[in-house]
Amino acid sequence: MRKKAHLALARAAKKMKLAEACESTDVGEVQEHVLHGGGDADFDVQADNVLQADNIRITQSASATKLQKFQAHNGGDNANVLQSDSDRVWTFVEMGQLNSLISSVLCPECQQNSVSLILGNAKMGFSREMTLSCTNCGELKCVHTSPRIGRSADQNVGFEVNRLAVLYTHEIGGGFRSLSKLSAVFGMPGLHEKTFYNLNQKICQKIQETGEATLDVTADIVKQEYLSVYPNGRPVADVDEEWEEEEEDVPWIDVSFDGTWQKRGFTSHYGVGIAIDVLTGYVIDFEVLSTYCHTCAINRAKLEQMTDAERQEWEQNHQPNCCINHEGSSKSMEREAALRLWGR
């Protein structure tokens, strides 16, 4: 109860600052107010109600506020490195439309309306070689429909569109077959299966690195927020006596915990447990549990034909990379995730 009281006081202090800002604002002149303070969703909803009563419209969500604070703390260096550059503009274009558009363009060499775009047949995933050609002068210029990753000129560097296509499958929870269906619908070449899984492995590694870096920055932000609320440390009554001798630079924080699964009905192979800081609303830690490993699944028939010694050797070599880290039911994942989080 005392912990809740202290958090309520912290939120009240934020509300007071917001109210003071509103009182000093001429509502008759200002039509829009952007909320820069706060952090947790509950506070933002309440603040939204207060400002709406004064005919002031909030145009920034709680999530946007958190992202701004995160980027400001990190100097903007933790932008999603998996996304394309901010100046990229992607779209689906049918080649007939493009040729119709440039049909009136004069060839720079012969000054005739004989220019057209021709796509090459080389297999480069979703990237194609595109040639500007003149029926009188021949080939004029050749480029790829996608830049290479990092604007590289190295021919061994992959294309950005292929990387984004694999990232798309992560966003929709699909895989190689989902991407192949997309290619079939639009009637265009897609990624080779080997290329897909090579890119997928690199993206997974980058996601893991980015996630770890994000948690480090989040921990710093949460720590600063609690130090601003409790500059002299948490009250003794707030802390269990057996933990009073903890390190002074590790602040006590209040968290909520929840679990989620890939699909409903307690039949999911994957589950996630999440610890969320109550004051700021940031995720401070998570645990992913899995009862499925694709490598184990596709090698199951081979394993049955192996001798005991061969099977044991294969399992020892595969163990460090095996995705299975939970052997219980899907329903028990939430409990197991909590035990692991609090056991760190």
Confidence bin at 78 (pLDDT 50/70/90) = very low
**CA distances to 156, 201, 203, 230, 311 from 170, in Å:** 25, 12, 9, 40, 32
DSSP H or E segment with residue 27: none
pLDDT in tens, 160-174: 999 999 999 988 888
Phi-psi region of 119 (alpha: psi -120 to 50; beta: other; left: phi over 0): beta
Kindly state the tokens that stand for 188. Answer: 């265009």
Instruction: Report if pTM > 0.85.
Output: no
pLDDT in tens, 23-66: 443 333 323 332 333 444 444 444 444 344 444 444 567 777 77
pLDDT above 80 (res 289) = yes
Buried b / exposed e over 42-81, threshold 16 CB at 10 Å, is ebbebbbeebeeeebebeeebeebbeebbeeebeeeeeee
CB atoms within 10 A of CB 294: 10
Buried b / exposed e over 157-188, threshold 16 CB at 10 Å, is ebbbbbbbbbbebeeeeeebeebeebeeeeee
- Give percent of the chain above pLDDT 90: 27
**Predicted local confidence at residue 13, as pLDDT:** 60
Cβ atoms of 191 and 166 closer than 8 Å: yes
In the three-class reduction of DSSP (H, G, I as helix; E, B as strand; rest coil), residue 20 is classed as helix
- Largest distance between two CA atoms of the chain: 88
DSSP H or E segment with residue 136: none
The beta-strand segments (E) located in 176-229 are none
Selection from 49-58, 64-73, 77-86, 178-187 with the highest mean pLDDT: 178-187
Q: d(Cα 191, Cα 124) in Å, to the nearest integer?
A: 8
Domain boundaries, the chain: 2-74
Q: d(Cα 212, Cα 2) in Å, to the nearest integer?
A: 33
Cβ atoms of 125 and 161 closer than 8 Å: yes
Query: What is the arithmetic mean of pLDDT over 229-249?
Result: 64
pLDDT in tens, 257-267: 999 998 887 88
Q: d(Cα 167, Cα 174) in Å, to the nearest integer?
A: 10
Cβ atoms of 197 and 170 closer than 8 Å: no
**Predicted local confidence at residue 86, as pLDDT:** 61
**Predicted local confidence at residue 36, as pLDDT:** 36
Cβ atoms of 285 and 218 closer than 8 Å: no
pLDDT, the chain, mean = 78
What backbone phi and psi angles, to 5 degrees, belong to 218? -60, -40
